[in-house]
Amino acid sequence: MLENILVFLVRRIVHHLGLTGLLYTWIISASWLGFSLDNTTTVRTVQVTEKSSEQRLDNFLLRELKGVPRTRVYRLIRRGEVRVNKKRAKPETRLTVGDKVRIPPLHLPDSPELPKPSPGLTELLEQSILHEDDDVLVLNKPAGLAVHLGTGIRLGLIEAIRQIRSNWRDAELAHRLDRDTSGVLIVCKNPRALRDIQRQFKEKRIQKRYHALVQGQWPAVITEIKAPLTRALAESGERFVRVDPAGKPSATRFKVLEQLTSTTLLEAYPVTGRTHQIRVHCQHVGHPIVGDPKYGVTTRGEQSTAGEEAAAKYLCLHAVELRFQLPGTDSLFQISAPWDKSFAAQVLRFRKIS
Protein backbone atom coordinates (compact mmCIF):
# COMPACT_ATOMS: atom_id res chain seq x y z
CA MET A 1 0.00 0.00 0.00
CA LEU A 2 2.79 2.41 0.98
CA GLU A 3 4.66 1.47 -2.20
CA ASN A 4 1.65 2.36 -4.34
CA ILE A 5 1.27 5.73 -2.62
CA LEU A 6 4.97 6.53 -3.17
CA VAL A 7 4.71 5.50 -6.82
CA PHE A 8 1.76 7.83 -7.33
CA LEU A 9 3.34 10.82 -5.55
CA VAL A 10 6.76 10.56 -7.23
CA ARG A 11 5.24 10.20 -10.69
CA ARG A 12 3.00 13.21 -10.14
CA ILE A 13 5.94 15.36 -8.98
CA VAL A 14 8.20 14.29 -11.85
CA HIS A 15 5.60 14.94 -14.53
CA HIS A 16 4.56 18.23 -12.92
CA LEU A 17 8.17 19.49 -12.97
CA GLY A 18 8.55 18.41 -16.58
CA LEU A 19 11.82 16.60 -15.93
CA THR A 20 13.46 14.81 -18.86
CA GLY A 21 16.66 13.01 -19.79
CA LEU A 22 18.92 11.12 -17.43
CA LEU A 23 17.51 12.81 -14.34
CA TYR A 24 14.01 11.71 -15.32
CA THR A 25 15.17 8.14 -15.95
CA TRP A 26 17.00 7.95 -12.62
CA ILE A 27 14.09 9.31 -10.61
CA ILE A 28 11.36 7.32 -12.32
CA SER A 29 13.36 4.07 -12.11
CA ALA A 30 13.23 4.57 -8.33
CA SER A 31 16.15 2.27 -7.64
CA TRP A 32 16.88 4.54 -4.69
CA LEU A 33 13.51 3.47 -3.23
CA GLY A 34 14.16 -0.20 -3.73
CA PHE A 35 11.50 -0.78 -6.37
CA SER A 36 10.58 0.43 -9.84
CA LEU A 37 7.95 3.05 -10.65
CA ASP A 38 7.97 2.25 -14.32
CA ASN A 39 9.08 -0.92 -16.06
CA THR A 40 9.10 0.72 -19.50
CA THR A 41 12.12 3.01 -19.10
CA THR A 42 14.50 0.68 -20.90
CA VAL A 43 14.59 -0.60 -24.44
CA ARG A 44 13.01 -4.03 -24.82
CA THR A 45 13.81 -6.52 -27.56
CA VAL A 46 11.12 -9.12 -28.07
CA GLN A 47 11.82 -12.19 -30.18
CA VAL A 48 8.88 -13.35 -32.28
CA THR A 49 7.68 -16.87 -31.48
CA GLU A 50 5.44 -19.24 -33.42
CA LYS A 51 2.46 -17.76 -31.57
CA SER A 52 3.01 -14.35 -33.20
CA SER A 53 4.37 -15.49 -36.55
CA GLU A 54 2.77 -13.88 -39.63
CA GLN A 55 1.13 -11.22 -37.46
CA ARG A 56 1.24 -7.58 -38.56
CA LEU A 57 3.69 -5.39 -36.65
CA ASP A 58 0.98 -2.98 -35.48
CA ASN A 59 -1.18 -5.80 -34.10
CA PHE A 60 1.86 -7.36 -32.42
CA LEU A 61 2.68 -4.07 -30.67
CA LEU A 62 -0.91 -3.51 -29.59
CA ARG A 63 -0.76 -6.88 -27.83
CA GLU A 64 2.64 -6.18 -26.28
CA LEU A 65 1.75 -2.65 -25.20
CA LYS A 66 -1.61 -3.13 -23.56
CA GLY A 67 -3.18 0.20 -22.69
CA VAL A 68 -1.00 2.28 -25.03
CA PRO A 69 -3.19 4.38 -27.36
CA ARG A 70 -3.26 3.17 -30.95
CA THR A 71 -2.24 6.62 -32.17
CA ARG A 72 0.92 6.42 -30.08
CA VAL A 73 1.78 2.95 -31.34
CA TYR A 74 1.55 4.13 -34.96
CA ARG A 75 3.59 7.23 -34.13
CA LEU A 76 6.38 5.05 -32.70
CA ILE A 77 6.44 2.99 -35.90
CA ARG A 78 6.32 6.05 -38.16
CA ARG A 79 9.23 7.71 -36.34
CA GLY A 80 11.37 4.60 -36.58
CA GLU A 81 11.51 4.11 -32.81
CA VAL A 82 10.26 0.56 -33.31
CA ARG A 83 12.71 -1.61 -35.26
CA VAL A 84 12.45 -5.11 -36.69
CA ASN A 85 15.85 -6.81 -36.94
CA LYS A 86 17.46 -3.36 -36.46
CA LYS A 87 15.61 -1.90 -39.46
CA ARG A 88 12.67 0.48 -39.80
CA ALA A 89 9.38 -1.22 -40.57
CA LYS A 90 5.83 -0.37 -41.55
CA PRO A 91 2.64 -1.13 -39.58
CA GLU A 92 1.66 -3.80 -42.12
CA THR A 93 5.05 -5.59 -41.93
CA ARG A 94 4.48 -9.32 -41.34
CA LEU A 95 6.61 -10.86 -38.61
CA THR A 96 8.22 -14.29 -38.81
CA VAL A 97 9.61 -16.63 -36.18
CA GLY A 98 12.95 -15.36 -34.87
CA ASP A 99 12.43 -11.69 -35.80
CA LYS A 100 13.65 -9.30 -33.11
CA VAL A 101 11.38 -6.34 -32.40
CA ARG A 102 12.90 -3.35 -30.62
CA ILE A 103 10.40 -1.55 -28.39
CA PRO A 104 11.54 1.87 -27.10
CA PRO A 105 11.16 3.18 -23.55
CA LEU A 106 7.65 4.39 -22.80
CA HIS A 107 6.72 6.70 -19.96
CA LEU A 108 3.02 6.23 -19.44
CA PRO A 109 0.61 7.73 -16.95
CA ASP A 110 -1.31 5.30 -14.79
CA SER A 111 -3.93 3.67 -16.99
CA PRO A 112 -7.49 3.79 -15.67
CA GLU A 113 -9.14 0.45 -15.06
CA LEU A 114 -11.02 -0.81 -18.09
CA PRO A 115 -14.77 -0.38 -17.52
CA LYS A 116 -16.98 -3.45 -17.44
CA PRO A 117 -19.47 -3.90 -20.28
CA SER A 118 -22.96 -2.93 -19.19
CA PRO A 119 -25.71 -5.58 -19.08
CA GLY A 120 -27.25 -3.88 -22.12
CA LEU A 121 -24.01 -4.08 -24.14
CA THR A 122 -23.42 -7.67 -23.04
CA GLU A 123 -26.89 -8.67 -24.20
CA LEU A 124 -26.49 -6.76 -27.47
CA LEU A 125 -23.22 -8.52 -28.32
CA GLU A 126 -24.50 -11.97 -27.39
CA GLN A 127 -27.56 -11.39 -29.58
CA SER A 128 -25.26 -10.30 -32.42
CA ILE A 129 -23.52 -13.70 -32.72
CA LEU A 130 -23.93 -15.16 -36.19
CA HIS A 131 -21.53 -18.09 -35.80
CA GLU A 132 -19.20 -19.50 -33.14
CA ASP A 133 -16.81 -22.43 -33.04
CA ASP A 134 -13.55 -23.21 -31.25
CA ASP A 135 -11.59 -20.82 -33.47
CA VAL A 136 -13.75 -17.88 -34.50
CA LEU A 137 -16.64 -15.75 -33.40
CA VAL A 138 -18.59 -14.01 -36.17
CA LEU A 139 -20.76 -11.06 -35.15
CA ASN A 140 -23.25 -8.72 -36.76
CA LYS A 141 -21.58 -5.56 -35.43
CA PRO A 142 -24.09 -2.87 -34.45
CA ALA A 143 -23.72 0.60 -35.98
CA GLY A 144 -22.21 3.17 -33.61
CA LEU A 145 -20.04 0.69 -31.69
CA ALA A 146 -16.28 1.10 -32.11
CA VAL A 147 -14.39 -2.17 -32.58
CA HIS A 148 -11.65 -1.10 -30.14
CA LEU A 149 -10.94 1.61 -27.60
CA GLY A 150 -9.34 4.86 -28.71
CA THR A 151 -9.46 8.61 -28.19
CA GLY A 152 -12.71 9.34 -26.39
CA ILE A 153 -13.68 5.65 -26.43
CA ARG A 154 -13.15 3.86 -23.12
CA LEU A 155 -14.53 0.51 -24.18
CA GLY A 156 -14.66 -1.01 -27.64
CA LEU A 157 -16.25 -4.18 -28.93
CA ILE A 158 -13.13 -6.32 -28.55
CA GLU A 159 -12.44 -5.13 -24.98
CA ALA A 160 -16.04 -5.89 -24.05
CA ILE A 161 -15.96 -9.31 -25.73
CA ARG A 162 -12.92 -10.37 -23.71
CA GLN A 163 -14.77 -9.69 -20.46
CA ILE A 164 -18.08 -11.36 -21.27
CA ARG A 165 -17.03 -15.04 -21.41
CA SER A 166 -13.95 -16.86 -20.14
CA ASN A 167 -13.30 -18.55 -23.50
CA TRP A 168 -13.24 -15.12 -25.18
CA ARG A 169 -10.41 -13.69 -23.04
CA ASP A 170 -7.79 -14.02 -25.78
CA ALA A 171 -10.05 -12.80 -28.59
CA GLU A 172 -8.52 -10.61 -31.30
CA LEU A 173 -10.01 -8.72 -34.23
CA ALA A 174 -9.26 -10.40 -37.57
CA HIS A 175 -10.16 -7.17 -39.39
CA ARG A 176 -11.98 -3.91 -38.66
CA LEU A 177 -15.16 -2.07 -39.49
CA ASP A 178 -15.61 1.67 -39.04
CA ARG A 179 -17.48 2.69 -35.90
CA ASP A 180 -20.65 3.64 -37.80
CA THR A 181 -20.53 0.68 -40.21
CA SER A 182 -22.61 -2.33 -39.24
CA GLY A 183 -22.36 -5.92 -40.37
CA VAL A 184 -20.25 -9.08 -40.46
CA LEU A 185 -17.13 -8.96 -38.27
CA ILE A 186 -14.71 -11.85 -37.62
CA VAL A 187 -13.13 -12.21 -34.17
CA CYS A 188 -10.49 -14.93 -33.65
CA LYS A 189 -10.28 -16.86 -30.39
CA ASN A 190 -6.67 -18.07 -30.68
CA PRO A 191 -3.42 -17.03 -32.44
CA ARG A 192 -3.56 -19.91 -34.93
CA ALA A 193 -6.98 -18.87 -36.17
CA LEU A 194 -5.90 -15.23 -36.33
CA ARG A 195 -2.90 -16.10 -38.53
CA ASP A 196 -5.11 -18.19 -40.79
CA ILE A 197 -7.79 -15.51 -41.32
CA GLN A 198 -5.26 -12.69 -41.75
CA ARG A 199 -3.40 -14.78 -44.33
CA GLN A 200 -6.65 -15.15 -46.26
CA PHE A 201 -7.16 -11.38 -46.17
CA LYS A 202 -3.58 -10.80 -47.32
CA GLU A 203 -3.97 -13.23 -50.21
CA LYS A 204 -7.32 -11.62 -51.14
CA ARG A 205 -9.16 -14.91 -50.72
CA ILE A 206 -11.91 -13.40 -48.56
CA GLN A 207 -14.86 -12.04 -50.53
CA LYS A 208 -16.74 -9.07 -49.05
CA ARG A 209 -20.14 -7.71 -50.00
CA TYR A 210 -21.63 -4.46 -48.68
CA HIS A 211 -24.94 -2.65 -49.01
CA ALA A 212 -24.82 1.15 -49.18
CA LEU A 213 -27.52 3.79 -49.48
CA VAL A 214 -26.05 6.69 -51.44
CA GLN A 215 -27.29 10.17 -52.23
CA GLY A 216 -28.80 10.89 -55.63
CA GLN A 217 -29.42 8.73 -58.68
CA TRP A 218 -26.43 6.46 -59.21
CA PRO A 219 -25.65 6.06 -62.93
CA ALA A 220 -26.16 2.43 -63.92
CA VAL A 221 -23.11 2.67 -66.19
CA ILE A 222 -20.81 3.01 -63.17
CA THR A 223 -20.11 -0.61 -62.29
CA GLU A 224 -16.53 -0.19 -61.05
CA ILE A 225 -14.47 2.65 -59.65
CA LYS A 226 -10.69 2.51 -59.86
CA ALA A 227 -9.27 5.49 -57.98
CA PRO A 228 -6.01 5.41 -55.98
CA LEU A 229 -6.33 6.45 -52.35
CA THR A 230 -4.00 8.11 -49.87
CA ARG A 231 -4.26 9.27 -46.27
CA ALA A 232 -4.23 13.00 -45.57
CA LEU A 233 -4.41 15.43 -42.67
CA ALA A 234 -6.84 18.35 -42.58
CA GLU A 235 -5.91 21.75 -41.12
CA SER A 236 -8.04 20.86 -38.12
CA GLY A 237 -5.81 17.85 -37.48
CA GLU A 238 -8.47 15.36 -38.56
CA ARG A 239 -7.23 12.43 -40.61
CA PHE A 240 -9.07 11.44 -43.76
CA VAL A 241 -8.64 9.54 -47.03
CA ARG A 242 -8.76 11.09 -50.48
CA VAL A 243 -8.31 10.18 -54.12
CA ASP A 244 -4.76 10.89 -55.23
CA PRO A 245 -2.95 9.77 -58.42
CA ALA A 246 0.07 8.98 -56.24
CA GLY A 247 -2.00 6.91 -53.81
CA LYS A 248 -2.37 3.15 -53.47
CA PRO A 249 -4.32 1.36 -56.22
CA SER A 250 -7.92 0.90 -55.10
CA ALA A 251 -10.94 -0.63 -56.80
CA THR A 252 -14.58 -1.18 -55.87
CA ARG A 253 -17.29 -2.84 -57.95
CA PHE A 254 -20.89 -1.62 -57.70
CA LYS A 255 -24.33 -2.92 -58.61
CA VAL A 256 -27.58 -0.95 -58.39
CA LEU A 257 -30.17 -2.78 -56.28
CA GLU A 258 -32.89 -0.14 -56.11
CA GLN A 259 -33.35 3.38 -57.44
CA LEU A 260 -35.34 5.68 -55.15
CA THR A 261 -36.36 9.30 -55.72
CA SER A 262 -33.40 10.94 -54.00
CA THR A 263 -31.18 7.98 -53.11
CA THR A 264 -29.90 4.68 -54.53
CA LEU A 265 -29.45 1.34 -52.78
CA LEU A 266 -26.18 -0.23 -53.96
CA GLU A 267 -24.26 -3.45 -53.57
CA ALA A 268 -20.52 -2.84 -53.26
CA TYR A 269 -17.67 -5.34 -53.70
CA PRO A 270 -14.30 -3.95 -52.55
CA VAL A 271 -11.58 -5.50 -54.70
CA THR A 272 -8.91 -3.93 -52.50
CA GLY A 273 -9.23 -3.20 -48.80
CA ARG A 274 -8.18 0.40 -48.23
CA THR A 275 -9.38 2.45 -45.27
CA HIS A 276 -12.74 4.15 -45.99
CA GLN A 277 -12.52 2.84 -49.56
CA ILE A 278 -16.23 2.47 -50.36
CA ARG A 279 -17.07 5.78 -48.68
CA VAL A 280 -14.41 7.74 -50.58
CA HIS A 281 -15.15 6.10 -53.93
CA CYS A 282 -18.84 6.96 -53.59
CA GLN A 283 -17.98 10.55 -52.72
CA HIS A 284 -15.53 10.72 -55.63
CA VAL A 285 -18.29 10.23 -58.22
CA GLY A 286 -20.63 12.69 -56.51
CA HIS A 287 -22.83 10.21 -54.63
CA PRO A 288 -21.64 10.07 -51.00
CA ILE A 289 -23.20 7.58 -48.61
CA VAL A 290 -26.25 8.81 -46.73
CA GLY A 291 -25.37 9.86 -43.19
CA ASP A 292 -21.60 9.99 -43.77
CA PRO A 293 -20.26 12.71 -41.43
CA LYS A 294 -16.77 12.68 -42.94
CA TYR A 295 -17.35 12.27 -46.67
CA GLY A 296 -20.91 13.52 -46.96
CA VAL A 297 -20.13 16.13 -49.62
CA THR A 298 -19.08 15.65 -53.21
CA THR A 299 -15.49 16.03 -54.39
CA ARG A 300 -16.50 19.47 -55.67
CA GLY A 301 -17.40 20.51 -52.15
CA GLU A 302 -21.13 20.73 -52.90
CA GLN A 303 -23.84 19.49 -50.59
CA SER A 304 -25.68 16.45 -51.88
CA THR A 305 -28.46 16.93 -54.40
CA ALA A 306 -30.77 15.03 -52.06
CA GLY A 307 -30.73 18.05 -49.75
CA GLU A 308 -32.26 17.78 -46.33
CA GLU A 309 -33.84 14.43 -47.16
CA ALA A 310 -30.38 12.85 -47.20
CA ALA A 311 -29.55 14.08 -43.71
CA ALA A 312 -29.38 10.92 -41.60
CA LYS A 313 -28.17 10.19 -38.12
CA TYR A 314 -26.41 6.97 -39.12
CA LEU A 315 -23.95 6.00 -41.83
CA CYS A 316 -25.91 3.81 -44.24
CA LEU A 317 -23.17 1.25 -44.91
CA HIS A 318 -23.59 -2.41 -43.96
CA ALA A 319 -21.19 -5.35 -44.38
CA VAL A 320 -23.81 -7.83 -45.51
CA GLU A 321 -21.71 -10.89 -46.36
CA LEU A 322 -18.29 -12.53 -46.05
CA ARG A 323 -17.01 -15.66 -47.78
CA PHE A 324 -13.92 -17.30 -46.33
CA GLN A 325 -12.48 -20.60 -45.13
CA LEU A 326 -12.95 -21.45 -41.49
CA PRO A 327 -9.53 -22.17 -39.91
CA GLY A 328 -8.49 -25.77 -40.44
CA THR A 329 -10.98 -26.41 -43.25
CA ASP A 330 -10.82 -26.37 -47.06
CA SER A 331 -14.45 -25.56 -47.80
CA LEU A 332 -15.79 -22.06 -48.47
CA PHE A 333 -17.88 -20.68 -45.61
CA GLN A 334 -20.48 -18.03 -46.44
CA ILE A 335 -22.16 -15.93 -43.78
CA SER A 336 -24.49 -12.98 -44.06
CA ALA A 337 -25.89 -10.45 -41.60
CA PRO A 338 -29.35 -8.86 -41.66
CA TRP A 339 -29.47 -5.06 -41.89
CA ASP A 340 -28.86 -3.10 -38.73
CA LYS A 341 -32.13 -1.55 -37.55
CA SER A 342 -30.82 1.97 -38.25
CA PHE A 343 -29.90 1.04 -41.84
CA ALA A 344 -33.27 -0.65 -42.40
CA ALA A 345 -35.10 2.38 -41.01
CA GLN A 346 -33.32 4.73 -43.43
CA VAL A 347 -34.09 2.56 -46.46
CA LEU A 348 -37.75 2.37 -45.41
CA ARG A 349 -37.84 6.13 -44.90
CA PHE A 350 -36.58 6.86 -48.40
CA ARG A 351 -38.91 4.26 -49.92
CA LYS A 352 -41.84 6.10 -48.38
CA ILE A 353 -40.55 9.40 -49.78
CA SER A 354 -40.38 7.82 -53.22
User: Over the chain (354 residues), what is each successive 10-residue block's mean pLDDT?
Assistant: 50 51 44 44 86 87 81 90 94 92 77 82 96 97 89 84 92 93 96 92 95 96 97 87 96 97 96 96 97 78 48 85 95 95 93 83
User: Is 291 found in the same domain as 233?
Assistant: yes
User: Is 174 found in the same domain as 55?
Assistant: no
Dist. CA 274–CA 9, nearest whole Å: 45
User: Is 82 found in the same domain as 36?
Assistant: no
User: Is 345 found in the same domain as 249?
Assistant: yes
Of 38, 178, 180, 292, the active-site residue reads 178
What CATH number did the domain enclosing 150 receive? 3.30.2350.10
User: Is 197 found in the same domain as 146?
Assistant: yes
User: Is 155 found in the same domain as 190?
Assistant: yes
pTM tops 0.85: no
User: Is 308 found in the same domain as 214?
Assistant: yes
Indicate the SS3 state at residue 198: helix
User: Is 246 found in the same domain as 312?
Assistant: yes
User: Is 265 found in the same domain as 168?
Assistant: no
Final residue of a domain: which of 202, 237, 254?
A: 202
User: Is 57 found in the same domain as 176?
Assistant: no
The predicted pLDDT at position 191 comes to 87
Sequence-separated (6 or more) residues with CB below 8 Å from residue 162: 168, 169, 170, 171
**CB neighbours of residue 139 within 10 Å:** 24
Asked if residue 273 belongs to a domain, the reply is yes
User: Is 229 found in the same domain as 169?
Assistant: no
Asked if residue 64 belongs to a domain, the reply is yes
Closest CA to 73 of 89, 85, 91: 91
Q: Print the domain residue range for 217.
A: 207-353
The predicted pLDDT at position 65 comes to 85
Which 8-state DSSP code applies to residue 311?
Answer: -
For the chain, the domain total comes to 4
Identity of the residue numbered 138: V
Indicate the SS3 state at residue 195: helix
N residues, the chain: 354
Relative to beta strand 207-215, strand 251-259 is unpaired
What DSSP element (H or E) covers 192? helix 191-202
Indicate the SS3 state at residue 188: strand
178 catalytic residue (yes or no)? yes
